[in-house]
Structure 1
Amino acid sequence: MPTETPSPRVNTSYVLDQLRRGLETSLRHSDPAIRARAAEKVERWCSVLEGMARGALSVGSRTPVEGVPAWVTLDVAHGGFATGQLLAGGPLEPYEQERLASLPNPEGATTERSRLNAWFLRDDGQRELSAALHSGCYRVRVPEEGALLTVTWLLGRGESERALELLETLAPLADRLRFYPAPDARPFSPSAVVRVQTVRTTVEQLDSVQLRPQIAKMNETLRVWNPLYDRAVELFLETVRGELPHLAVEGGELVRRPDGQGRVEGGWPCQSWPEGWHERARQLLRDYEAERLNHTLCGKPEHPKANFARLRGFLEQCVADARSLTGRDVGSIRKILASYVTRHGAPGSEQLRRVRDEQARMAAQPTGNELAMQVADRLRALPGDEGLSTLEVVSAPVGGHPIPPHLLEKVERSLEAPIDQLVERGVIGSGEVLATVLPQITSQVGAAGIEDPDLRRLYTAIYAAFRRRRSLLLLDLQHQVRFDELPWVEAIRPFRKSDLGARALARQTLEQVSTLALTSFPQTLLPNKLIQELYALAKGADLKLPLVEELAADIFMGTFSMKYLDAARSAARLLEGTLYARYYDVPTELLLELDDREKRWGKDTSPGFAELCTERAGAKQAGWSVARNGTIIEQAQILTTHNLAVLFEALGLAATLRPALPHLAELCFQWLVRQQSMKIDHWKARLQMVKNTAYAWRQMLFFLSLVERFALQEFLDWAREHVEEQDEAFVRRFEPVMAGLEWVSAGKTFDASGRGGPMGRARRFLGWSDGRHWLLEG
């Protein structure tokens, strides 16, 4: 029997830390938009904390909000903490208020929401929902907004009993939730292309772009303070008798006095006072004060040691009583004028004109935030909840000035294109982002078995909305709410046919998406959100794949469900005798023979698999810690290959991807070398880096295990050269990892401590360590 692991307890420390960070950002950040967003997060974390304190929130449960079924869409903060708010509830939206104003108060309706829900079940409301079903002129932002559309469709098909059963399920929450869709003038039309975000979201991001402080200060100096400085210099130069003051230059170099200061030549200022000089000086001082009221970004004009500030001080003294100037004062003015003339040129000179013209050109250029506003204005003319078919509408220059690349990158996130094209352009830059856009495709795959076009479109809209739900923090091996658990989805289950065409489409999409994820982001684990989509596609293809999620070490329950053992068996069949199996000392025979099952928390688990992972992690001693849990979870990932073997075996990817495997291994290696070479100061970030690079190393080994021997040798030669191109400190620190790969590739094995070679210098590279990781030493 496996060693009993104490059940983790969710406490308030994480919530309090998030609340503290949010408060600091909301109070101290320089960007008002970021402060506002942080303040919203603070409110959400306060709701979490209050709910936990009152016992109204059961963190770790599928139903954390008292009296609310699991299928209701919750507002979930970072880390999976429910705030207690229901996303289909809350204040009435404008379209609801407008509708409500035209309605009578029906009997039995206790709230404004219940009035609206009741109206949509009456004749007029049903006619409106029926028209929306046929036209597609509606939007489902959260899954609940598709419930009454489903009722309408069922009634239209004569399925009154199913419709009534569904209404009975919805009734207890009809006073709080929107079960009706948002109206829209444009039909909702599922597409074969995807986008990362809507036009409306991009507009919001562009609106939040602010001028960088350094640029703002520079522009203020060029537009406001330099002209005033020029006027002050000109005023004093008018008082000079003889040659203009300047710094002596010989052979292109300044001539310096014994004290190191530049030698000033030319006439002296304050020798004559042209007519009207004092009034013009007073006007300059008044102009400066007026400008200073409106322009406060740049502090240099007020700095007592800055030449402009000193010159203004002398101006004030001259205006009040020029006779109060001392010889030292006049000398200081002469030196300021000499420095100015030498550096910029005399007033009216070609040198000064060129300098000021160039500065004026720079100051006249639109700033980043000004260009962002222009691009946002272009986008505002387009439908906000859709994407862009092309970038041409917004990428044209503004007044001859091109749109900066960083702004175009923001706009690209709304570009609608096939997934592979967005990956190639870098718009989809990770498996996590891929997972967010994939429901736009998988929703259509899931709807392929529905004959009725209205229901097919509705199903697609509900599915896409459902996949936007944020996952809850769950304990006791509970699973997230599944799409089929939505009562209105269950109600239409009989009308979905799993025919051969739909299954073939699901399998084809599963192969394409898996291949795209593995070849685009070979160094990273498949994220849980993406695994959910792959699972849905596999189910549609009638494939029972034991796809496993990445487990959180801080809430690990000390056991594994049976699918982890099933996945490990798949890996054992595929990898027996390979480099991967030798490197990690995978007990393939034991895994293939292991067949135990035990009920825990109502789930089928494998105590033998949990015990094996615990033993391999060297964590047999009783106790509980995040690090200990992490070492056990990592062993489960090693034995299962975290879904790689399952996908390769079930979909035949080994044959499909074999030509690309050496390149994928190289990408993994290059990525982890870059990560390991980065200077990271924060210890948590360093720990995360080691874990991530160990995962990339494992993926690399998997790819190398399926290539021919000559390809492996070519990789080893290339990898050794690549390592030796790095700095000496990295080579010395990484040498045990590289030596370990070469040791096992030569047919050798590690000892029980994970070492090999002379003096045990070759080491097995793992990410988790119950103690300081040896790669972080020194």
Structure 2
Amino acid sequence: MGHTASPTYAYGQLQRAVRTALSAKDGATRKRAQAKASQWQDVLTGMAAGSLRIGSRTPVADTPAWITLEVVHGGFATGRFLAEVPLSPEEAALSGTNDRERLNLWYLTDGGLATLRGMLATESYRIEVPEDAALPTVAWLLEHGHAESALDLIEELRPYFHRLRLAPLPGAAPRPAGASVRLSTVGEVRESLRSASTPPAVAAMLETLKVWHPLFDRLVALWCDTVEGDLPRLDETGVTGGWPCRTWPRDWQQRRGEWLADYASASAQHTASTAHAHPKSNFARLHRALLACEHDSTELTGRDVGWIRRALANTITKHGEPDSEPRAALRALQASVAARPIHAELAAAMVERLDRFPADGGLPSIEPVAEDAPAHLVAKVARALEAPIEELVARKVITSADVLATVLPQITAQLLAANFDDEQLSTLYAQTYAAFRRRRGLLLLDLENQVRIEELPWVHAIDPLRARRPDATRAARQTLDQTVLLALTAFPQAILPNTLVRELGALAKQAGMPMPLVEEVAADIFMGTFTAKWRTAAEFASRTMAGTVYARYYDLPESWASAPRPRPFRALAKRTADDFADVCVARAGGARPSWRFRSVAVNGTVLEQSQILTTQNLAVLVHTLDLRDRLQAAAPELAAQSLTWTVTRLATRTDHHHAALQAVKNAAYAWRQALFFLSFCDEDAQRATVRRLAEQVARAGLAERFAPAVNGLAHVVEGGRFTADGRTDDGAGRRFLGWTTGKHWCLPVVRKKGSAGL
């Protein structure tokens, strides 16, 4: 038995979801939190019962790895199968049954196979989860003379006929053309816009401007018409001017009745604002007085008249007399504000424009939809734009390497599908690949691997039919080059996320140039060892970075000449690099700990050294793809951007210790990226970069905290080295790392409330 994850994390997530479900004011937020709480309850129940073993690639008991699981944050499986869903009306209509097993068996009849072949021929199907492609693959195999493979596939699928949807839903699944991708479908963007609502405070303000202010002005004018002499005003002595209720125009009672009727109607229809009803407001005082004098002024007391006079003085002094130029100007300005379309109205107008496009497709251009729209709505609509990745990055639709990883499979799917000569099979594989990449990764321990697409039984059945076509190989290489350069230049401060690393690995395999790409390992699940590819990646890094600022700063080994000493890892048939793990531990400043009683901080220091030694894939990619010359021109700017991000991140104030630790860790990762790019710059550019960095640090108020890191970098740029403890000879400079087992020297000083300083 391998290791299993602790339920502590899951319990914490359950507590957080329950708190949100109980305290959130927004109904939609509460509903989402309730759903999350239910999922985490399933996780904990399964772990307690032994039906879930979190950390395994097959976490659900008696379930093969290829079944798509529901996975929540952190890689925890809930035990639910995503393909285990009730029959849709379309499915029930196909075979006249509401039973999943009977429907799957019907697909193997002549009528069912004919239906599947019709879907394949017309491409009128949607693969939402990978299992949807299983029976269409059977239909294709039978039609093309591969009966034995089809029968073997049916035999493997048969135990799950009663639970899983194994055929696609009817309906076309439009794909972006060529090298274009999209982040969302039109339908997804449309639903997002439909959910736009007006905040209560904004609704109250607009109602006040449109409804209650005009009514208030009429009320003020009504009472002003009863004033004898000058209208009341406020000065330093109090209320001056004439008194109301001294003269009564002949039509006053008629106007009074009309106003009260309009007020009653407005009160019934407009309930967003309540300020006018506050008992001490000028509006409420004048309204109560109006109600009191139903027949004549004798129904008002002297106190009532005094309050009428004071209320009139308040509003006339502040806003001017009725129909005066100051009051008219104010109301005109307020009316213009109220007339502006609000967010919800603009969103509704955008929805009407989007209704002209298929819900499950994308937008060829956003101009017809986004014309005259505000920038924040244009940004939402742009998520459905179909365009090359480079354009979506430039438009800031793709805002991170993680987002880049979500759209890249749309291209990779087409490139890998091109290896199948049959067009129907190629299209089926492309949709299957895209659905497979939407699977959420599992939390894995014991060096286990995520499920590969080749492990899906229906993909395995057609794998022998795959041919390596030269044009597809060339296209994969070109896409690989472009994607790596785009990720490095658009997001230079960020390490490549695991999702993107996996996609780059698929492209590299298709391009015929596999490379040792390594994943980021979470410190809380690290088991103390590495597979052999980490050592191979470190060899690349030592060769590629030899003699550079990066190599001197981090004191990279000059070579890894000795043969690796593999160490068996439990019962797994995996080749591990024991010497690489030993080097990481030694560089982290300690002997190999007992991993049974390890701490997250110790794990973090070791993992950071593994990232340094391998450059976290940068050296492997640049060397294998021969990108040095293409990267060199942009290197000074990329280094500067990464360092600027580092300074900004450290300068962002936080009162939470964990957030401060996270900021230091991320800043150190961006710092490492900057040093990699700086290694491709000449000495003059390196010195200029350090000078600008020192100025940025001073302007950001970080000189006291971060000067040691700046001094250390300047020392290395001038050819120096750090001592064994990571300092310069004079003690003024330090090597900047993100992880430490003690208090980090770069953390801000947190003082108690009331003390001086920051």
Alignment of 1:273-284 (within 5 A): 273-275=248-250, 277=252, 281=256, 284=259
Equivalent residue of 1:775, what SS?
coil
Q: What residue number does 1:308 align with?
A: 283
Equivalent residue of 1:588, what SS?
coil
Q: Distance in 1 between matches of 2:72 and 2:468?
A: 36
TM-score, normalising length from structure 2? 0.94
CA contact (8 A) 1:137 1:188 kept: no
Q: Any idea what the Cα deviations from partners look like across 1:441-468, whole Å, max 9, x if unmatched?
A: 0111112222111111111111011000
Does structure 1 residue 516 correspond to structure 2 residue 486?
yes
- Cα gap change, 1:315/1:684 in structure 2, threshold over 3 Å: closer, same or farther? farther
Question: 1:280 Cα deviation (Å)?
Answer: 5.0
CA contact (8 A) 1:145 1:181 kept: yes
Q: Distance in 2 between matches of 1:738 and 1:651?
A: 32
Does structure 1 residue 597 correspond to structure 2 residue 566?
yes
Q: Distance in 2 between matches of 1:680 and 1:225?
A: 43
Q: What residue number does 1:679 align with?
A: 653
Equivalent residue of 1:554, what SS?
coil
Q: What residue number does 2:218 align with?
A: 231
Q: Distance in 2 between matches of 1:435 and 1:411?
A: 20
One-letter amino acid of the structure 1 residue matched with residue 566 of structure 2: R
Q: What residue number does 1:651 align with?
A: 625
Residue from 369, 374, 384 that aligns with 2:359: 384
Does structure 1 residue 642 correspond to structure 2 residue 616?
yes
Q: What residue number does 1:93 align with?
A: 88
Moved more, 129-138 or 329-338: 329-338
Q: Distance in 2 between matches of 1:149 and 1:676?
A: 54
Q: Any idea what the Cα deviations from partners look like across 1:413-449, whole Å, max 9, x if unmatched?
A: 0100000010111000100000000000011111222
CA contact (8 A) 1:33 1:208 kept: no
One-letter amino acid of the structure 2 residue matched with residue 230 of structure 1: D
One-letter amino acid of the structure 2 residue matched with residue 335 of structure 1: R
One-letter amino acid of the structure 2 residue matched with residue 307 of structure 1: N
Residue from 676, 685, 704 that aligns with 1:702: 676
One-letter amino acid of the structure 2 residue matched with residue 535 of structure 1: G
One-letter amino acid of the structure 2 residue matched with residue 93 of structure 1: S
Gaps of 5+ in 2: 750-758
One-letter amino acid of the structure 1 residue matched with residue 710 of structure 2: M
Equivalent residue of 1:755, what SS?
coil
Q: Distance in 1 between matches of 2:603 and 2:287?
A: 68
Q: Any idea what the Cα deviations from partners look like across 1:649-671, whole Å, max 9, x if unmatched?
A: 11111122111111110110111
Question: 1:38 Cα deviation (Å)?
Answer: 2.4
TM-score, normalising length from structure 1? 0.91
Q: What residue number does 2:578 align with?
A: 607
Q: Distance in 2 between matches of 1:603 and 1:192?
A: 37
Question: 1:87 Cα deviation (Å)?
Answer: 1.1
CA contact (8 A) 1:190 1:444 kept: no
Q: Distance in 2 between matches of 1:157 and 1:92?
A: 29
- Cα gap change, 1:276/1:27 in structure 2, threshold over 3 Å: closer, same or farther? farther
Residue from 715, 729, 738 that aligns with 2:710: 738
Gaps of 5+ in 1: 1-6, 104-110, 248-254, 258-262, 397-401
RMSD after superposition? 2.3
Question: 1:557 Cα deviation (Å)?
Answer: 0.8
Does structure 1 residue 373 correspond to structure 2 residue 353?
no
Q: Distance in 1 between matches of 2:548 and 2:221?
A: 83
Q: Any idea what the Cα deviations from partners look like across 1:370-409, whole Å, max 9, x if unmatched?
A: 211221232234211111111133223xxxxx32211111
Q: Distance in 2 between matches of 1:338 and 1:773?
A: 63
Question: 1:487 Cα deviation (Å)?
Answer: 0.9
Equivalent residue of 1:756, what SS?
coil
What percentage of residue pairs aligned between the two structures are identical?
49
Q: Distance in 2 between matches of 1:506 and 1:577?
A: 32
Instruction: Tell me how many residue pairs correspond in the alignment.
Output: 744
CA contact (8 A) 2:418 2:472 kept: yes
Question: 1:283 Cα deviation (Å)?
Answer: 6.0
CA contact (8 A) 2:173 2:361 kept: no
Q: What residue number does 2:753 align with?
A: none
Question: 1:317 Cα deviation (Å)?
Answer: 4.3
Alignment of 1:66-105 (within 5 A): 66-101=61-96
One-letter amino acid of the structure 2 residue matched with residue 539 of structure 1: K
Equivalent residue of 2:513, what SS?
coil
Residue from 194, 203, 211 that aligns with 2:181: 194
Alignment of 1:221-300 (within 5 A): 221-247=208-234, 256-257=236-237, 263-275=238-250, 277=252, 281=256, 284=259, 287-288=262-263, 291-300=266-275
Q: What residue number does 1:667 align with?
A: 641
CA contact (8 A) 2:683 2:717 kept: no
- Cα gap change, 1:377/1:100 in structure 2, threshold over 3 Å: closer, same or farther? farther
* Greater relative CO, 1 or 2 (CA 8 Å, sep 6+): 1
Moved more, 347-356 or 283-292: 283-292
- Cα gap change, 1:330/1:202 in structure 2, threshold over 3 Å: closer, same or farther? same
Equivalent residue of 1:593, what SS?
coil
Q: Any idea what the Cα deviations from partners look like across 1:196-229, whole Å, max 9, x if unmatched?
A: 1111111121122221233112112112221232
Question: 1:49 Cα deviation (Å)?
Answer: 2.3
Q: What residue number does 1:774 align with?
A: 745
One-letter amino acid of the structure 1 residue matched with residue 451 of structure 2: V
Equivalent residue of 1:267, what SS?
coil
Q: What residue number does 2:338 align with?
A: 363
- Cα gap change, 1:147/1:276 in structure 2, threshold over 3 Å: closer, same or farther? same
Q: Any idea what the Cα deviations from partners look like across 1:462-510, whole Å, max 9, x if unmatched?
A: 1011000000111111110011111111111111112433322222211
One-letter amino acid of the structure 2 residue matched with residue 113 of structure 1: R
CA contact (8 A) 2:523 2:604 kept: yes
- Cα gap change, 1:306/1:187 in structure 2, threshold over 3 Å: closer, same or farther? closer
Equivalent residue of 1:83, what SS?
strand
- Cα gap change, 1:187/1:403 in structure 2, threshold over 3 Å: closer, same or farther? closer
Q: Distance in 1 between matches of 2:172 and 2:457?
A: 28
Equivalent residue of 1:148, what SS?
helix
Question: 1:606 Cα deviation (Å)?
Answer: 1.2
Alignment of 1:29-44 (within 5 A): 29-44=24-39
- Cα gap change, 1:558/1:320 in structure 2, threshold over 3 Å: closer, same or farther? farther
Moved more, 420-429 or 609-618: 609-618
Question: 1:542 Cα deviation (Å)?
Answer: 1.9
CA contact (8 A) 2:193 2:351 kept: yes
Q: Distance in 2 between matches of 1:556 and 1:293?
A: 63
Q: Distance in 2 between matches of 1:363 and 1:605?
A: 68
Question: 1:586 Cα deviation (Å)?
Answer: 1.8
